[in-house]
Structure 1
Amino acid sequence: MQVDFTIIIDLIGTFAFAISGIRLASHKQIDWFGAYIIGLVTAIGGGTFRDLLLGVTPFWILDAKYFITTGVALLATLVFKEKLFKMGNTLFLFDTIGLGLFTIVGITKSLDAGLPIWVCIVMGTITGSVGGVVRDVLLNEVPLIFRKDIYALASIAGGGVYFFGNFINLPVGILELLASLTVIIFRIVAVKFHIHLPQLKPLESNSGKKK
């Protein structure tokens, strides 16, 4: 039961992240194949980096469903392009859903590897955020994780909820759902109410000031 639920959220997360990548690529005059590649690296980038750190074969090498799911996402974008592109918050919505779902996938896979709690939270954050970093770098955008918006911290919050729920023995399905919703809601609330960390600003130079 646990494995089935993890596979479901993995595929939904793949679809959501692929949509976010394809949606952003549409602003860069990229052809369909290029958009597919951007969607694919958005979907598999974080998990690939996680698996390399864990010393295991990257998941997409062993299963073609991530390539197929990305293809479905591209097809859905082409068919519903008018509706999706008119929604100004489409990129944010799908990116947030992908972040929440992939954070939980990263945590559960790290738990299966027998890693300690803090490492699992780090791996969950990497799984949820690195794909978006790769997407933004390829499209010459400042990665979301480096902007003032709450992003990686949302994954950390979801990881905290996951392990608290695990400590009080919540059923796995409910636990994973609550943790992923925590990430999603945390990020939505932060953006809606403009909650963010202070920006690091350079010191003002006195060289241009009159004495």
Structure 2
Amino acid sequence: MNALLVLDHAGVAVFAATGALAASRKQLDIVGFVFLASVTGIGGGTFRDLVLDLPVFWVLNPAYVLVCAAVALLVYGTAHLMESRYRVLLWLDCVGLAAFGAMGAAKGLDATGSATLAIITGMLTATFGGILRDLLAGEPSVLLRSEIYVSAAMAGAAAYTVSVAAGLPQALSLAIAFAIAFIIRGGALRFGWTLPRYKPRAGRDISGGE
């Protein structure tokens, strides 16, 4: 199993776990666990494949859906053991974002040969599943939190494209991309890193003419 395939399965499993944790916070039944785990685990990759006009990955290999279901069952039986499920959700989301940012960039670069599109597909793969999870579960959206989120995925995807362009092996490029995205997002969670935010200002007074 090559590095890309390992990262792909790991990303699906980790994101599926965040979906199942969201289901546990809403006290859903086992079907709800499997549904949220599956939507979160395969949502970003599905969107990526549709954008790239590629066969949807889990249709070609249904094992991905089985991974989501297995993770959902595991979390269903163990979620009560976690002291802060939302905190665990955020850190697992950080791991999934780093993995999918790298893997999505790799698939985008292979499909298009464009560094720009690789960064975009990496960002979409890394963030879309989590956005769907929060929307469906009624959780506070990770996209709207003040800490860096999307930018971490884009940084990881960019690191992958730069590493490949520099001639580094794919496995090393994936590891570099994962590490950069994880450090940025993890630092944002741990230290509250943010980008400058828009601050409203009083509009120009046009009552006196130009």
Same fold (TM over 0.5): yes
- What corresponds to 1:208 in structure 2? none
For structure 2, which runs of at least 5 residues remain unmatched after alignment?
204-210
Q: How far apart are 1:57 and its partner, in Å?
A: 2.1
Q: Which amino acid aligns with 1:115?
A: G
Q: TM-score, normalised by structure 1?
A: 0.88
- What corresponds to 1:70 in structure 2? 68
For structure 1, which runs of at least 5 residues remain unmatched after alignment?
206-211
Say if 1:77 and 1:84, in contact at 8 Å, map to a contact too.
Answer: no
Q: C-alpha distance in 1, partners of 2:41/2:185?
A: 19
Say if 2:21 and 2:86, in contact at 8 Å, map to a contact too.
Answer: no
Q: Which secondary structure state, in structure 1, belongs to the residue aligned with residue 28 of structure 2?
A: coil
Task: State how many pairs are aligned.
Answer: 203
Q: TM-score, normalised by structure 2?
A: 0.89
Deviations 1:2-31 (A, max 9, x none): x72111111111110000111112111211
Q: C-alpha distance in 2, partners of 1:150/1:32?
A: 32
Deviations 1:64-112 (A, max 9, x none): 1111111221122134333335566210121111111111121111111
CA distance 1:86–1:144, shift in 2 (3 Å): closer
Q: C-alpha distance in 1, partners of 2:113/2:130?
A: 24
Report the RMSD for the aligned CA atoms in angstroms.
1.9
Residue 191 (str. 1) matches residue 189 (str. 2): yes
- What corresponds to 2:206 in structure 1? none
Runs ≥4 residues deviating over 6 A: none
Q: Identify which of 8, 11, 29 aligns with 1:10.
A: 8
Q: C-alpha distance in 2, partners of 1:167/1:191?
A: 30
Q: Identify which of 39, 47, 50 aligns with 1:49.
A: 47
Q: Which secondary structure state, in structure 2, belongs to the residue aligned with residue 36 of structure 1?
A: helix
Structure 2 counterparts to residues 111-130 of structure 1, below 5 A: 111-130=109-128
Q: Identify which of 150, 163, 167 aligns with 2:161.
A: 163
- What corresponds to 1:133 in structure 2? 131
State the percentage of identical aligned residues.
Answer: 32
